[in-house]
């Protein structure tokens, strides 16, 4: 059979199969990643809506999802203001945790003597209850915005230090010997070998710290007052609890959870940008 005839016979087959591949891939990804969570969400909300109706539970004990949505809509200005204050405080606390945490991790990894001397105190700082040291924080930094940022920083600080330090100490031994063979200095090894190798661990610590910074900001308002002269989610929950406004408490708590998810997704996106081209945990695979 001539070559031109073979090519003409193949053309219709290729043109028919190629347009079908993308819709099929999109359908498979939707089924694998989104269908399950959507079904679980519908089942959970439906069950939550039915339980108070069937058992006759008052709305101030267990509000229905419709009550929560109605409360959020009716008090939207207060809700949006509380969320915006918490976002600002959490972002500042998280950035401080990231910068200081990574810096201290590099300092600890630079010397075993420094690591053995300082790291135990970082663990002690993490195990101290925030409520126990809250009066000291308020005395040192004043009630309000500064103290809340410090609380958010303290809660999100340790995961970054712990994960980054683990990554810096987990460098491949053969690569370390290769750098030594080429007479690389300690700091050349640190910046060109150990820090790049620790990036996956660092990204994991940032993801954990991002969600904990939200928790720290909300807890900080309980123990250190109102942030910036305006109340965030923690303060709004305190006021709503005094008023027995349970529906609004649920709305505020859900907003806090959404903020945590948003911060986590932002760090996941950053992780894909940083690691996506070379680390196997973030390399995209065609399914």
Q: What is the pLDDT of residues 61-115, one digit of tens each?
A: 889 999 999 999 999 999 999 999 999 999 999 999 999 999 999 999 888 898 8
Q: pTM here?
A: 0.80
**Four-CA torsion 224, 227, 233, 234, nearest 10 degrees:** 10
Residues 59-80, buried b or exposed e (16+ Cβ, 10 A)?
A: eeeebbbebbeebbeebeebbe
Question: What tokens does 180 get?
Answer: 């030594």
Q: What is the pLDDT of residues 25-65, one digit of tens each?
A: 666 776 777 778 889 889 999 998 899 888 888 888 889 99
Domain residues for the domain of 216 are 77-273
Give the domain CATH number at 166. Answer: 1.10.3720.10
pLDDT band at 286 (very low <50, low <70, confident <90, very high): very low
Domain contains 132: yes
Domain contains 51: no
Give the 3-state secondary structure of residue 286: coil
Provide the number of structural domains found in the chain: 1
Domain contains 9: no
Domain contains 286: no
Domain contains 252: yes
The alpha-carbon radius of gyration of the chain (Å, integer) is 26
Q: Return the percentage of the chain with pLDDT > 90, whole number.
A: 33
For all residues of the chain together, what is the average pLDDT?
Answer: 82
Q: What is the pLDDT of residues 173-221, one digit of tens each?
A: 888 778 888 878 888 888 888 888 889 999 999 999 999 999 988 888 8
Q: What is the pLDDT of residues 233-270, one digit of tens each?
A: 988 898 898 888 999 999 999 999 999 999 999 999 99
Domain contains 101: yes
Domain contains 95: yes
Domain contains 98: yes
């Amino acid at each position: 059979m001539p070559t031109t005839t073979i090519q003409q016979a193949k053309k219709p087959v290729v043109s028919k199969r190629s347009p079908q591949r993308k819709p099929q891939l999109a359908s498979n990804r939707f089924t694998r990643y989104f269908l399950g969570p959507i079904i679980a969400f519908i089942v959970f909300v439906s069950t939550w809506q039915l339980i108070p109706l069937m058992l006759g539970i008052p709305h101030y004990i267990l509000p229905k999802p419709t009550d929560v949505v109605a409360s959020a809509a009716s008090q939207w200005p207060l809700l949006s203001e509380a969320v915006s204050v918490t976002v600002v405080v959490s972002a500042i606390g998280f950035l401080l945790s990231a910068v200081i945490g990574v810096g201290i991790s590099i300092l600890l990894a630079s010397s075993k003597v420094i690591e053995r001397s300082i790291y135990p105190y970082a663990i002690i700082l993490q195990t101290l209850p925030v409520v126990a040291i809250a009066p000291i924080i308020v005395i040192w930094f004043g009630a309000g915005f500064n103290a809340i940022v410090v609380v958010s920083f303290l809660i999100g600080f340790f995961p970054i230090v712990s994960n980054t330090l683990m990554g810096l100490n987990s460098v491949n031994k053969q690569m370390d010997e290769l750098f030594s063979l080429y007479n690389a200095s300690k700091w050349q090894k640190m910046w060109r070998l150990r820090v790049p190798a620790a990036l996956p661990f660092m990204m994991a610590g940032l993801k954990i710290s991002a969600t904990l910074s939200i928790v720290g900001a909300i807890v900080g308002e309980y123990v250190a007052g109102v942030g910036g002269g305006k109340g965030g989610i923690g303060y709004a929950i305190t006021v709503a609890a005094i008023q027995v406004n349970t529906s609004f408490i649920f709305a505020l708590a859900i907003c806090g959870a959404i903020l945590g998810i948003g911060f986590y997704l932002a760090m996941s996106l950053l992780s894909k940008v940083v690691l996506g081209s070379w680390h196997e945990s973030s390399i995209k695979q065609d399914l």
